[in-house]
Structure 1
Amino acid sequence: MQDYCAICEIHEDNNVFRLLVNSLSPTIYGREMVKAGLVLGLFGGTQKYADSQNNIPIRGDPHILIVGDPGLGKSQMLQSAATLAPRGVYVCGSTTSTAGLTVALSKEAGGGDFALEAGALVLSDQGCCCIDEFDKMGGQHHALLEAMDQQSVGLAKGGVVCSLPARTSILAAANPTGGHYNKAKTVSENLKMSSALLSRFDLVFILLDKPDEETDSILSEHVMALHSGANSSRGQKDSAAGSSWRETPQSVLQLDDGGDERTLVEDLKLTRGSDFDPIPAPLFRNRCVFLQKFYKDLRRSRHGAVSSPVTTRQLESLIRLTEARARLELREEATEQDARNVVEIMKFSMYDMFTDEFGMVDFQRSKNGSGMSQRSQAKRLVCALTRAADQTSNAIFTVQQIKDIAREIGIRVENVSDLIFTLNKESYILKKGPRTYQLQTED
């Protein structure tokens, strides 16, 4: 009865979404849009089935990835999400094995029978699994592909063939290689992660540590107030700096919002946080036509691009997040305002993926491809290697020769080794031996 009264009290709040967002890790100042994405991941959508026999499930739980520089509170937000979830598991990618993530098969001591030991994904079934240090997992990434898409973990070992449910939302945090996010590269290049895995995340947030005198001053007051046990008066009344560390221009990913005056960022400004328990409610909802319009506009803006990052997966992500937005207010049907909130969160997360190191919006970039500046420089290097191969009648180059040619044509790349890695990944050059590559010519 006490829980019921608490749920009713939360539900009667004028802005339930703001209450839940600011109750998630209140020690982290600002970052309202990132917290909003994590809250939607906690509540999740509704699992559906593609056939009448309920044999082919359609994923209903969204997956969220946070990428950013160290020291921005990514781990604390994940720990808070795992603590607040009814069934939450927190693991660190650097100390987790494949069996620890999925399932392990072992023999019992007495009779010699096989026993299944559940991993983090199975233990967090119908909950959330928070994975920190996601970039340091290495070979464990392939074990997540089935669980993230099919929401089950298969095992075939020692004559035992089974499939265990893993209906969980994966909330992950990763640090870019080199310790700092390079805007000249895409998300895939910064994390050295496969596109198959990145495409399964519904939202990808990029956190950047940008020096700003006003923001740093307010943030330092907030941290000092936390350590002194007092409330930051300035932080409570002025959270604009926390939510405007990176404001999305109105011209980027523009969509007619019907004349709404208040944006979601303004609506989620930091207030005094209060503890809450997520409200699990198996509610079913209808889809919003507003999502289809946003999806079609994205597809239209990407028409003619080299590699389109906008597929039906983005539309399914919008549906899942809209269902979660309606669920957190205990509503059986999603409204158009729910869809607008979700679209604004997705636009916020997509903005940095399309922005290069000069702050310009480039729609030819994608989180799975390569940066525009690096693509143009890679094309110049391939042309220079082709000319050198024609002159010497030798298509085999050493790493030092490639670096010398890159230096001659004035390529602006901080580390030419990364460019060589990209060319090898795209099959422009093939590794023939230690520090030796062969140029692939078109015959």
Structure 2
Amino acid sequence: TLALFGAVQKHSMDQNKVPIRGDIHVIIVGDPGLGKSQLLKAAASVSPRGIYVCGNTTTNAGLTVAVVKDSMTNDYAFEAGAMVLADRGLCCIDEFDKMSAEYQQSLLEAMEQQCVSVAKAGLVASLSARTSVLAAANPVGGHYDRGKTVNENLKMNAALLSRFDLVFILLDQPDLFLDKRVSDHIMALHTNDRSPCSSNKRLRTVPQFNGSMGIGIDEKKLASRLRLHPEKDRDFVPLPEPLLRKYISYARSYVTPRVSEPAAVVLRKYYLNLRAHSTCSDGTPITARQLESLVRLAEARARVDLREEVTEQDANDVVEIMNESLYDKYVDEHGCVDYARSGGMSQQKEAKRLMSALNKQSELQQKDQFSRAEIRSLADKISLQVPDLDDIMERLNSAGFIVHKGQNIYQILTSSCSRTQPTRSR
């Protein structure tokens, strides 16, 4: 909902200042069969300007812009892609994980700078792409593994993942109450049973950080306010799609909320709290992008109610949403929040220990290629605490630190010997 309403774009007409995007990017990662595609299609139909594309059938030109030749005049002209066509609207990209790395990299400029630069066939131009991106992706292997990071589950570049304001993980876990409601709904569709279903909606429990991470959020949570009451909301009827589309269009056109001082205090305190708790030797995952995301989400929350000022309650609601997103992004298989996973690799400290040992061994032996047996022996020598060494080697290979040369031989790309070897000429 917040991505549909969006925030206020700042400094868009001032040439002396860097424009700050107001569009919110959201990615949904989850197991197959949870309705992610249906959610994207519904969002595209409700948006005043919505484009729905599937990642496994699109190309680089189909996402950004293509240059075509006119058969009548033999002149070249631009043909807009999905990101340009969805300007000031919503671009829904399904099967985001099926896109090749080259096509994903083409979205970097469009998602952050809100424009698409093209230089083809003697034509140089920059087209506006002020659109929110709502993406859905399936994890590698068909099931999300909490032992791996989001980058490893999707095999996605960290630079692209950092451009999403919110990351939500959907897991297909057995739930007797929810499974019964889903089965009743499916059977009612196939038996033509049009009896009104119960209005009692059930939201899953929102996991939160521990008490030291909180900032004093109101006891009345956002999730509890979104849950419909079985008695009071018995006659609840959703808004018709045309009316909702007009409502969103009006809010985006005429409502420009500003952050009030109490809301700014809440957002600032929450951001500084995250910075204080995320300092580690492997880097700090919480950057100024998270603060800008908080401001965008707060402005969108005020737009939903057609208010010109962001209140303290809006800031508290946004903090609760961000807590949910960060919990999904940094929690490990044991349910603990680990900020070291922000580097895109699980068990990052052990992987760095192994790479450091391999670099030292490469300098001592003056070689940059090692067999699997030599690496396993070196891991035992340094007492590497990993459950599966082959899994760590595969992740280092995917991250570009080593290269699998075949026949159980690995080349160390970060070794000084690899950089000083002379280039052989034919």
Interval containing the TM-score (normalised by the shorter chain): 0.7 to 0.9
1:375 Cα deviation after fit: 2.5
Contact 1:399–1:436, Cα closer than 8 Å, also in 2: yes
Contact 1:243–1:269, Cα closer than 8 Å, also in 2: no
1:369 aligned residue (333, 336, 344)? 344
Contact 2:209–2:323, Cα closer than 8 Å, also in 1: no
Residues in 2 aligned to 1:441 and 1:320: alpha-carbon distance in whole angstroms = 43
Contact 1:104–1:119, Cα closer than 8 Å, also in 2: yes
2:237 is the alignment partner of 1:285: no
1:411 Cα deviation after fit: 6.2
The change in CA–CA distance for 1:144 and 1:427 in structure 2 (over 3 A counts) is closer
Describe the SS at the equivalent of 1:261. Answer: coil
Q: Which residue of 2 aligns with 1:3?
A: none
Moved more, 104-113 or 43-52: 43-52
2:204 is the alignment partner of 1:243: yes
1:337-352 to 2 correspondences below 5 Å: 337-352=313-328
1:107 maps to a residue whose letter is K
2:90 is the alignment partner of 1:115: no
1:388 Cα deviation after fit: 7.6
Q: Which residue of 2 aligns with 1:437?
A: 410
Q: Which residue of 2 aligns with 1:307?
A: 283
1:355 maps to a residue whose letter is V
Residues in 1 aligned to 2:392 and 2:123: alpha-carbon distance in whole angstroms = 45
Contact 1:65–1:172, Cα closer than 8 Å, also in 2: yes
1:103 Cα deviation after fit: 0.8
Contact 2:151–2:157, Cα closer than 8 Å, also in 1: yes
Residues in 1 aligned to 2:318 and 2:173: alpha-carbon distance in whole angstroms = 26
Q: Which residue of 2 aligns with 1:334?
A: 310
2:204 maps to a residue whose letter is S
Q: Which residue of 2 aligns with 1:145?
A: 108
Contact 1:396–1:436, Cα closer than 8 Å, also in 2: yes
Describe the SS at the equivalent of 2:119. Answer: strand
The change in CA–CA distance for 1:58 and 1:442 in structure 2 (over 3 A counts) is same
TM-score (norm 1): 0.80
User: Bigger relative contact order, structure 1 or 2, given CA contacts below 8 A and separation 6+?
Assistant: 1
1:69 aligned residue (1, 23, 31)? 31
Structure 1 residues 322-341: Cα deviation after superposition (integer angstroms, max 9, x where no partner)? 11111121111111111111
2:351 maps to a residue whose letter is A
Describe the SS at the equivalent of 1:57. Answer: coil
Residues in 1 aligned to 2:9 and 2:82: alpha-carbon distance in whole angstroms = 20
Structure 1 residues 259-289: Cα deviation after superposition (integer angstroms, max 9, x where no partner)? x231111111156451342322232222231
Residues in 1 aligned to 2:278 and 2:169: alpha-carbon distance in whole angstroms = 21
2:225 aligned residue (263, 267, 279)? 267
Q: Which residue of 2 aligns with 1:88?
A: 50
2:118 is the alignment partner of 1:160: no
1:293 Cα deviation after fit: 1.4
Residues in 2 aligned to 1:429 and 1:346: alpha-carbon distance in whole angstroms = 35
Contact 1:221–1:232, Cα closer than 8 Å, also in 2: no
Overall identity of the aligned pairs, in %: 48
Q: What residue ranges of structure 1 are gaps of 5+ in the alignment?
A: 1-38
Q: How many residues align?
A: 395
The change in CA–CA distance for 1:301 and 1:111 in structure 2 (over 3 A counts) is same
1:201 aligned residue (164, 171, 176)? 164
Q: Which residue of 2 aligns with 1:359?
A: 335
The change in CA–CA distance for 1:400 and 1:216 in structure 2 (over 3 A counts) is farther
Q: Which residue of 2 aligns with 1:186?
A: 149
Residues in 1 aligned to 2:123 and 2:212: alpha-carbon distance in whole angstroms = 52
Contact 1:69–1:209, Cα closer than 8 Å, also in 2: yes
The change in CA–CA distance for 1:298 and 1:232 in structure 2 (over 3 A counts) is farther
1:345 maps to a residue whose letter is I
2:409 maps to a residue whose letter is T
1:429 Cα deviation after fit: 3.5
What's the C-alpha RMSD, in Å, of the aligned pairs? 3.0
2:396 is the alignment partner of 1:420: no
Q: Which residue of 1 aligns with 2:420?
A: none
Contact 1:68–1:180, Cα closer than 8 Å, also in 2: yes
1:112 maps to a residue whose letter is N
The change in CA–CA distance for 1:108 and 1:329 in structure 2 (over 3 A counts) is same
Q: Which residue of 1 aligns with 2:422?
A: none
Contact 1:48–1:58, Cα closer than 8 Å, also in 2: yes
1:362 Cα deviation after fit: 2.1
Q: Which residue of 2 aligns with 1:34?
A: none
Residues in 2 aligned to 1:386 and 1:195: alpha-carbon distance in whole angstroms = 24
